[in-house]
Structure 1
């Protein structure tokens, strides 16, 4: 049997718990919970176009064949080859980008092709040949990385170069081979970056400084290392969209 004192104590504790329950619930409801949307927005990397200083007057791409395919591939039934031509990954509205590298790495979308090699050439602004490198390819569709040979002349800081990519359709290069062109200018870094391992922070720094070729390479390396990471895939897609390249954002990386 409970005496009067024990009963009074139990009633007091019960009333206290009832009175405080709404307050506890209300306090919990007022604590902001991070949402998936907020996290995604904070991780977006959007490319910022650099000033036009040093940009050539004309940066239009040129080529010898309208569909950028080898003759033997023009009748292919491969849908991917028809939908996406040979193209360089560079902002679509300028066809021009900056780099901080002596021997920059370029990303190129390569359609299904029977060609076995590419030729990467650099020309100075007076169209004098600066360097040339032959690059073997497998011909599978996707985004590949290319760069000039390590023993070729390095790009000079402050200079702008026209670079051309020729898809060699036969045993040797021909004037009728598909070719795409773009422009690159080497600049010093405002904030030196480590080149040992790419990071989202590093890619964002390049993007904010308008250094296209370094930014897109860093993000591609991260995506290539984490192919099943949807968050990274979303960042990659947003980045390419900011440069007008969303059409190939889901294409495989082959490097």
Structure 2
């Protein structure tokens, strides 16, 4: 029987091939650690959600905003809404406080349950002199449980840069037949200017996730959340939903991340 001697040059080329080296190493690692290959895949699939990182800004000065929990009132009847806003520790206690660069920002709340025509919701925005800037109350709603947003209408004056505003959101359960305090949550928002560095970063952000990431790393909570929220409605993208979930997880709001974004309250009337 004749045996053909292998070509040494060809063998050397095969051995030195990067793909062959990778497969060989992967095979060896898998044999030692059966979960090795799975770890590589898991790292790649989570790269989108890990990319967004909220960096909390410094807390507001003393006497800027009132201490509050995420939800209160409602007499334990399931009327307590949740504000999708980070809790900030300050000298005043725990505050629901965040920054925006928007002239008329959107506010996001998790509804405690499905709402019917027996229920009502109210949103109020006041300036630092406690003067009402915007107030709306909506009755006769039929809205499934989920997350609702309240944008400030275009006919309302733009928020002033550097000024803080207090907001409150209330749910009146069965208000026509039961006299009771509404479930209420309140907090503070401050508009800041877009500096040249932030402007340049936003100009280079081409996707909603990139834009939200820029806002988040600069501590601008309201715009980061709104950028993702309005695009979830448009695209139903898994990547955007993943970033939304991750952003809420970082401020201990992950239990709300799976709730649908409802069509309630998109264009409230004055």
The offset of 1:120, in angstroms, is: 1.3
Provide the residue aligned with 2:220 in structure 1. Answer: 211
Match of 2:192 among 187, 195, 214: 187
- The aligned counterpart of 2:143 is 139
Residue pair 2:172, 2:181 contacting (<8 A) in 1 also: no
Name the SS for the 2:144 alignment partner. Answer: coil
Deviations 1:29-55 (A, max 9, x none): 489997441452365212110112457
1:182-221: per-residue Cα shift (whole Å, max 9, x none)? 1111111232347xx9611110110011111110111122
Alpha carbons 1:63, 1:181 under 8 Å: kept: no
Give yes or no for the alignment of 1:252 onto 2:248: no
Question: Retained in 1: the 8 A contact 2:143–2:262?
Answer: no
Q: Distance in 2 between matches of 1:23 and 1:187?
A: 57
Q: Does 1:86 align with 2:81?
A: yes
Residue 141 of structure 1 aligns to a residue whose secondary structure is coil
Matches within 5 A, 1:1-255: 11=4, 14=7, 16-18=9-11, 20-24=13-17, 26-29=20-23, 35-38=41-44, 40-41=46-47, 43-44=49-50, 45-54=52-61, 56=64, 58-61=66-69, 63-67=72-76, 69=78, 85-93=80-88, 94-110=95-111, 111-114=113-116, 115-135=118-138, 137-169=141-173, 170=175, 176-190=181-195, 191-192=198-199, 193=202, 199-227=208-236, 229=238, 231-255=239-263
CA distance in 1, matches of 2:223, 2:243: 16
Displacement of 1:121 after TM fit?
0.8
More divergent stretch after superposition (204-213 vs 88-97): 88-97
User: Per-residue displacement from partner, 1:159-192 (whole Å, max 9, x unpaired)?
Assistant: 11110112244369x7723222111111112323
Runs of 4+ displaced beyond 6 Å: 30-34
Residue-by-residue CA offset, 1:118-163 (whole Å, 9 max, x unaligned): 2211122343323212346433100111123321232111111110
Contact 2:209 2:243 in 1 (8 A): no
Residue 101 of structure 1 and its aligned partner are, at CA, apart by 1.4
**CA-based RMSD:** 3.5
Q: Secondary structure at the match of 1:101?
A: coil
With 119-128 and 57-66 compared, the bigger mean Cα shift is at 57-66
Secondary structure, counterpart of 1:131 in structure 2: strand
Q: In 1, Cα distance between the equivalents of 2:187 and 2:171?
A: 15
Gaps of 5+ in 1: 1-6, 71-84
- Unaligned ranges ≥5, structure 2: 27-36, 89-94, 264-270
Contact preservation (8 Å) 1:166, 1:180: yes
Tell me the TM-score normalized by structure 1. 0.74
Q: Is the 8 A contact 1:122 1:162 kept in 2?
A: yes
Q: Is the 8 A contact 2:101 2:193 kept in 1?
A: yes
Of residues 232-241 and 103-112 in structure 1, the stretch that sits farther from structure 2 once superposed is 232-241
* 1:95-133 Cα distance to aligned partner (Å, 9 max, x none): 111111121111111122225542211122343323212
Aligned residues: 230
Greater Rg over alpha carbons, structure: 1
Cα drift, residue 63 of structure 1: 4.4
